[in-house]
Amino acid sequence: MDIIFLRGLEIETIIGIYEWEREIKQTVILDLEMATDIQKAAASDDIEHTINYKAVAKRLIHFVENSDFFLVETLAEKITEIILNEFSVPWVKLILNKKGAIRGASDVGIIIERGKCPDG
């Protein structure tokens, strides 16, 4: 299996459990790894035979900008569901960074991996 990755995608959204977090947009940073087989795309040189990472980025930007979850865990699950279901990806790894959420820490967030069952 091959991996198409997208790193450092910064998106502004409402995220957090504290009252002040519900009133401002904060930046989350997404790093994605998406499993695929690139052989057909490489042979055809056709974007239709691979994961269009620009389309993935645009979809996630739209979704995340318009979301307002309390937990990064919920946001992460929803993001991976979109990738698995809308882009026919069998496996995805997501690092969701809520940079600056903890004073003194440069990064804080969550790493999840999700895959489709072989039966769909």
Provide the greatest CA pair distance for the chain. Answer: 53
What are the strands of the beta sheet with 91-97, ordered from one edge? 68-69, 2-15, 26-36, 91-97, 109-115
- What is the C-alpha R_g of the chain? 15
Of 93, 98, 99, 116, the catalytic one is: 98
CB within 8 Å of 114: residues ≥ 6 apart: 77, 80, 81, 84, 91, 92, 94
**Active-site annotation holds for 58:** no
Interatomic CA distance for residues 86 and 78, integer angstroms: 12
Residue 104 CA to chain centroid, in angstroms?
Answer: 25
Catalytic residues: 98
